Amino acid sequence: MTDDALPALVGPVEVVGAGLIGASVALVCRRLGLDVVLRDTSVEHLRTAHGLGAGRAATPDDRPQLVVVAVPPAAVAEAVVDALHRTDAVVTDVGSVKAAPLASVAARVGPGELARYVGSHPMAGSERSGPLAASAALFDGRPWAVTPHAAADPDAVGLVESLVLECGAAPIRMSPEEHDRAVARISHLPHLAAVLVAGRLAAAPAEHLALSGQGVRDVTRVAASDPGLWQQILEANASAVLDLLAEVRTDLDALMTAVAAPSAESGPVTGTGPDLVEILARGNAGTAAIPGKHGGPARPTRSVFVAVPDHPGELARLFGDAGEIGVNIEDVHIDHDPARPVGLTELVVDRGSADRLLAALESRGWTTHR
């Protein structure tokens, strides 16, 4: 099916759950000029979303073309069933896990109803919550999994893909089971690894933590997310997550053996497991496997480091200079230095542009290094 053949999203669109994701979808639809109906069990969320212009209250005569269920993971199946019973609309949800809610829905609706349900999952917004954080720009350029079951109506699938495209996201079609295995690997496992590392920091002496660099901050950042939400996600995807955790446990045992083993210099290696360099190199391969910006292969980049005084306007001046020099900044990291009011800012640029940027920044008086 080509994009041209996708059914047009004409509304009305009903959004169930006016949190970050739901209200953001509603804002996109309002921007398209569509009639948007909002439902939420929280009067406060509903009032806030109305106030943002995200849509109107439901009435008994509403006949939505599409219902978007955007409620917490544990409440998805019931809200989808309710929407299928209440309306003739295509129904999608935006939950983080797909197979378990589908099974629950399939057990409680007829085949005609089930054909109208197509699950989906935008890869956006996990660390913030509530309608106040909503934005029509939230999905810009993000992957958005669309996960039809075998008996889904092709037109229903097309309508959900239309929504994804209207949201500025990139639809990626896969089965619910495939999706759950994918997010277990690229979202749930990294999350749990961050939790385990952060868990070992909680009771550490302050002077140990004083040595913290950017590495530990990056590794643990996502562990700051809402435990209640993540409990629901992990319980709904327990099987795929446990499979991966079991693999990691095996890898951890091999790692412990490799760290404990005498290195080749000290004597012959008697075990049959991978050696430490082999395990570390596998990590290299894994980071290289993550797709680059804009979905293409990762482009070779280089980092340019610049010392930037920590007060308003200095970063502006740096980016102003970089802009005038005409080099595109692919990524930025600012080191949280623990002792002095000077930040080391890392500019990630195309490898071919790094020398030119360095020379030009130095000629403008910046202290830089590679």
Considering only residues 8 to 47 of the shown chain, the ones binding its own copies according to CB under 8 A are 24
Question: Rule CB under 8 A: which of 132-151 touch its own copies?
Answer: 132-138, 140-143, 145
**Closest approach of its own copies to the CB of residue 116, in Å:** 25
Task: Tell me if 196 contacts its own copies by CB under 8 A.
Answer: yes
**Closest approach of its own copies to the CB of residue 127, in Å:** 8
For its own copies, the closer of residues 87 and 345 by Cβ is 345
Q: How far is the CA of 99 from the CAs of 52, 166, 260, in angstroms?
A: 33, 25, 41
Question: Rule CB under 8 A: which of 39-98 touch its own copies?
Answer: none
Q: Which segment (65-73, 77-85, 109-117, 291-299) binds its own copies by CB under 8 A?
A: 291-299
Please choose, from the candidates 279, 280, 261, the residue with its C-alpha nearest in 3D space to the C-alpha of residue 270.
261
Q: Can you tell me which of 51, 53, 199, 271 binds its own copies, judged by CB under 8 A?
A: 199
Task: Tell me if 163 contacts its own copies by CB under 8 A.
Answer: no
Q: Can you tell me which of 51, 112, 271, 292 binds its own copies, judged by CB under 8 A?
A: 292
Q: Can you tell me which of 189, 273, 360, 364 binds its own copies, judged by CB under 8 A?
A: 189
**Closest approach of its own copies to the CB of residue 286, in Å:** 3
36 backbone dihedrals φ, ψ, rounded to 5°: -120, 125
Task: Tell me if 290 contacts its own copies by CB under 8 A.
Answer: yes
The 3-state secondary structure of the chain reads CCHHHCCCCCCCEEEECCCHHHHHHHHHHHHCCCCEEEECCCHHHHHHHHHCCCCEECCCCCCCCEEEECCCHHHHHHHHHHHHHHCCCEEEECCCCCHHHHHHHHCCCCHHHHHCECEEEECCCCCCCCHHHCCCCCCCCCEEEEECCCCCCHHHHHHHHHHHHHCCCEEEECCHHHHHHHHHHHHHHHHHHHHHHHHCCCCCCHHHHCCCCHHHHHHHHHHHCCHHHHHHHHHHCHHHHHHHHHHHHHHHHHHHHHHHCCCHHHCCCCCCCCCHHHHHHHHHHHHHHCCCHHHCCCCCEEEEEEEEECCCCHHHHHHHHHHHHCCCEEEEEECCCCCCCEEEEEEEEEHHHHHHHHHHHHHCCCCEEC
For its own copies, the closer of residues 328 and 363 by Cβ is 328
Q: With CB under 8 A, what is the number of residues at the site for its own copies?
A: 148
Task: Tell me if 303 contacts its own copies by CB under 8 A.
Answer: yes
**Closest approach of its own copies to the CB of residue 67, in Å:** 24
Q: Can you tell me which of 78, 177, 178, 360 binds its own copies, judged by CB under 8 A?
A: 178
Question: Rule CB under 8 A: which of 206-265 touch its own copies?
Answer: 206-213, 215-225, 227-228, 230-231, 234-235, 238, 241-242, 244-249, 251-253, 255-256, 259-260, 263
**Closest approach of its own copies to the CB of residue 118, in Å:** 17
Q: Which segment (7-15, 60-68, 101-109, 173-181) binds its own copies by CB under 8 A?
A: 173-181
Alpha carbon distance, N-terminus to C-terminus of the chain? 48
**Closest approach of its own copies to the CB of residue 73, in Å:** 12
**Closest approach of its own copies to the CB of residue 37, in Å:** 22
Residue count (the chain): 370
Task: Tell me if 110 contacts its own copies by CB under 8 A.
Answer: no
Please choose, from the candidates 93, 91, 97, the residue with its C-alpha nearest in 3D space to the C-alpha of residue 114.
91
Q: Can you tell me which of 50, 108, 317, 364 binds its own copies, judged by CB under 8 A?
A: 317
Task: Tell me if 287 contacts its own copies by CB under 8 A.
Answer: yes
**Closest approach of its own copies to the CB of residue 83, in Å:** 23
For its own copies, the closer of residues 112 and 320 by Cβ is 320
